[in-house]
Structure 1
Amino acid sequence: MSEDRAPAAALPEPPEAAHEVFGDRLGDAVRYAELLADIGVRRGLIGPREVPRLWERHLLNCAVLAEVVPEGVTVCDVGSGAGLPGIPLALVRPDLGITLLEPLLRRTNFLSEVVELLGLEDGVTVLRGRAEEVLPTFTPVHVVTARAVAPLDRLAGWGVPLLRPYGEMLALKGETAEEELKAARGALAKLGVVRGSVLHAGVGVVDPPSTVVRVEVGESPGGVRFAAKRAKAARRGGATRRPRR
């Protein structure tokens, strides 16, 4: 791993909640936190001001998402960035098959290095590209996750077409989650979403609990237009544009 910028502030010790959430993978969670606080800051993947609150605001906030992910399913973390929520989720839930989808090369390089260092290769795949670019050749998943990627209506336009029929998208959101869901209902309906709700994960473990918007799809994720687009691309060999660096 190269070093491009000055190191950030010292990383705090993991809080008691981290022991409860990560269990016997706490050592790996600490190693990941150290990488974010050092290399992650040097490469501009996270801001230096985030280091003192890495545990509460980032790792634990993402790891408790495991509470609402079904057992043994496939997951695509859209716009994974520095691996949030995909990496904490993989540490807590080894039963999942997770794809970290990220378009930027410097981020996918970091993700690949983290996956190897933490020994997550059996359950985690790093894929470089944008959701709309990989769609024609992408194997649909049961669950799409995302955090701090885009407003819900736009995020759903990228994430919902990646779902299998009757799958769900779980988006970590903030205090305005209810309002955002209400504002996006029209766009969600056009994408084949049949139900939307707001959940809270990590109640009694993290303070405040993580707010999750869940959108569930029916038989045609992304709507009829996306189903036709996928079929057409598959017939012509699934050519996609090269991702942006």
Structure 2
Amino acid sequence: MPIISEAASAFRSRFGFHKPSSDSEIVRSSPAIPKSSSKENFFRSDSSSSSSLNFESESNEIVPRSLNQSFELEEDPSFWKDHNVQVIIRIRPLSNYEISIQGNNKCVRQDSSQTITWNGHPESRFTFDQVADENVTQEKLFHVAGLPMVENCMGGYNSCMFAYGQTGSGKTHTMLGDIEGGTRRHSVNCGMTPRVFEHLFSRIQKEKESRRDEKLKFTCKCSFLEIYNEQILDLLDPSSLNLQIREDAKKGVYVENLKELEVTNARDVMQQLIQ
């Protein structure tokens, strides 16, 4: 059983994830969050099939698929209105090194837009909200997962996104992509984070213009932290030590004394991120 740090446990508890009762229990990706009362919108990009929504044994019938068959990643903004948590698996292509060692053999195959099968003995089938194959572009993934979260945020809901997977599974490529020199709006390799903030500030500007008579004022603040070995590090102020996680009726779960920096555009955010 993995050891979960106090800091990680607090965040897990905040979003409703609960520790399994035994090693054999399947990890459920959908926390117990009431659909009607929660104001959190949560997206998890997973590179590991161990965190599935449902597990089906090989006794279930699986329709054979061509290994080269591609499944369309669906853009369905209405889905987010009824689901607090989505788990999307992104399959990365094999690297040149992997091909040189093992050829084009893959440990998983995609059976549909929501299911993948681990090609072990016995085979194991996993079901998720969506599965993005290796041909899905950064832009497409943003429209499916990132854009709806920004819209929900503008509607007054909290949004959270994180990528999970082992080293080399593609988390950095998915979340950041090409961010050298700040945001690159026209780079096809631009990842989820710069695209989210580009769209967020674009939406803020449109909201200001469409509701000019209301004299709306938007304030955006960002913070960057790292949790490692049960210690919280403020990446904007590395001199801060012994930061603590607190819970408040109005704020919810937050990190006490974590530095917040006001930002006015996506470039401000990305410049802080790449420092």
Give the shorter-chain TM-score range.
Answer: 0.3 to 0.5
Give me the TM-score of the superposition, normalised by structure 2.
0.30
Give me the TM-score of the superposition, normalised by structure 1.
0.32
Give the number of the structure whose alpha-carbon radius of gyration is greater. Answer: 2
Whose helix fraction is larger, Structure 1's or Structure 2's? 1
